[in-house]
Amino acid sequence: MNFPSRTWRARASSLAVLLWLAVSGAAAQEASSAAGAGGRAFSVTPTLGANLTLTNNVNLTATDKQSDLILGLYPGIQVVAQGARVRGYLYYTLGAYLYANQQEDSNFYNTLSAAANAELWEKRLFLDVNASISQQIIDPFGTQSSDPSLNNDNRTEVTTVSVAPYLKGQMAGQVDYLARALYAYTDSGTSSASDSTSYGGVLSFNGSTRWQRLGWGLTTSYRSIDFSEGRREYDQLSWLTLRYAVTPELQANLRGNYERSNVTSLNGSTNGGFGGGIQWTPSPRTRLVLEADQRVFGSSHLYLLEYRSPRTIWTFSSVQGLSNGQDSFGQGLLGQSIPGVSSQTAPSPSFDPTAGPTGQGVTAFELLFKQFASVQPDPVLRAQLVNNFLKANNIDPNSTLSTNFLPDQVTEQLEQRISVAWIGIRSNVILNAYQTQARDIGPLSSPGTGLANGSTLRWYGGSASWSHRLTPAATLSVSFSGERTAEDDGSQSSTLWVGTVTWSQRVFENATLSIAARRQVFDSNTSPYNESALLAFLGMQF
């Protein structure tokens, strides 16, 4: 059996779980007191799933197709902490695959999504811990598939762990301050891609003036990231912000920044720039953000429009800035904004090293987690809400709505996305369209990658899913997605189309049976294929 044997990789996966448990363990001490008061501060739910996949192309090849019957087993655990001092969640699944015809290919993979926040000193000192394990592609033009059980050497298991303590408070009753540090490690799981280690910090002050509508902010940040297959890159950024409340709903800001970085030069360069923007929140259902800045690498921006009606959620975003392709740095790990960094009262430069797109694929869970923010602002309760919604409507929480790859350098990235979710009484629709481009802005070329010699990579794609409750216990769902990856000179490209039809039935109170049919078509310069499959899945909670 072909089980991974890399010791350091196993340690990183274990560390991802242990770090979260170290933070959430304190919640168990609160559980007894909460239970006595009728609450439930800490809950653990074991899960178990099993499926059979009959595929006509287990090796994802254009010639010499081989059929196989694959048994998948999925033991897992769900942990939710809702204590007074510790809040968080952990969703972990171990997937094991056994093949009828190619037993030597049997393998397993891990899936983890975990975040926790601990209050170490009342209303002053806090700790964010985040851990994730996911499947990602290595070569953006290599073989791609929506099913991890199919044999694919272009897939790797990526583990990321982040630890971020922060101290916040107020000085003289007028100035809010925040001091935040962060350490993050990403294990790419393969020698064909880079691991990365990043660390840094943010220090910010925000205050008011004698004029009630006028406020100010001063922030400085530092971030360093070391790629195992590349070099160490750093960015030091400071900015001064003036804010003016035109109305309680409309905030305008103007800022100047000073930046030193080696992202665009070997020996480092300095740059001074200006920026500004507006944030308009006419109602709890509507939010508009328009921000733009000049940075050391050029222009950056953040455009965001969110609107929620009783049955729909609409989101449009356009973000241009720096990305390391593996982790984000400034948002609270439970999805909370950090005061003085990205809040409405103290906006940061439109894209800075302390916040920005991860460069990873967006999953259905992540999309709905953001979209349900206006429905449930509490991140822990929102995670439960999203998971229950996905299960009830037979939507895979780990299904990727867009893909990317693991670079060995910081890139300039532009990501534009529009998504719509319609939540009906019996039917639900999720639509998502996006385009992303990554450009090499460093002084060194990246031979062997899609960014070699300053190339630009572009992704275009979208997905649509529809689910309908046939009866209180039965659901029919249809999903379709497509993505095209292309190099700007036209030398390489790939396209993946995936369509799935699924019927699911709740057979017991905590058990659901699903039967599905799937079709995949992948077109590329080197490894095209098509694949059809029938699947049966049984999932249980205890």
Helix (H, G, I), strand (E, B) or coil at 293: strand
- Judged against a pLDDT cut of 80, whether residue 442 lies above it is answered with no
Q: What is the pLDDT of residue 397?
A: 55
Q: Across 172-311, where does the E strand assignment appear?
A: 175-187, 196-208, 214-227, 232-245, 250-261, 269-283, 286-295, 298-308
DSSP state of 352: B
Q: What is the pLDDT of residue 323?
A: 77
- Consecutive H or E run containing 18: helix 7-36
pLDDT in tens, 185-243: 999 888 888 888 999 999 999 998 888 899 999 999 999 989 888 888 889 999 999 99
Q: What is the pLDDT of residue 50?
A: 92
- Judged against a pLDDT cut of 70, whether residue 425 lies above it is answered with yes
pLDDT in tens, 443-483: 765 555 556 556 788 889 998 989 898 998 899 999 899 99
pLDDT in tens, 66-90: 999 999 999 999 888 888 888 888 9
C-alpha to C-alpha distance for 290 and 277, rounded to whole angstroms? 5
C-alpha to C-alpha distance for 258 and 295, rounded to whole angstroms? 9
Share of the chain above pLDDT 90, in %: 38
Task: Look up residue 494 and give its two tokens.
Answer: 């790939």
Could you give all domains of the chain from N- to C-terminal order, each with its CATH number? 7-541 (2.40.170)
Q: How far is the CA of 87 from the CAs of 164, 166, 245, in angstroms?
A: 15, 16, 33
Q: What is the mean pLDDT of residues 101-113?
A: 86
Q: What is the pLDDT of residue 355?
A: 35
- Judged against a pLDDT cut of 60, whether residue 298 lies above it is answered with yes
pLDDT in tens, 44-71: 889 899 999 999 999 999 988 999 999 9
pLDDT in tens, 3-29: 444 444 555 555 555 555 555 555 555
- The segment with the largest mean pLDDT, out of 149-158, 343-352, 445-454, is 149-158
C-alpha to C-alpha distance for 523 and 158, rounded to whole angstroms? 25
Q: How far is the CA of 526 from the CAs of 55, 155, 461, 492, in angstroms?
A: 22, 16, 21, 9
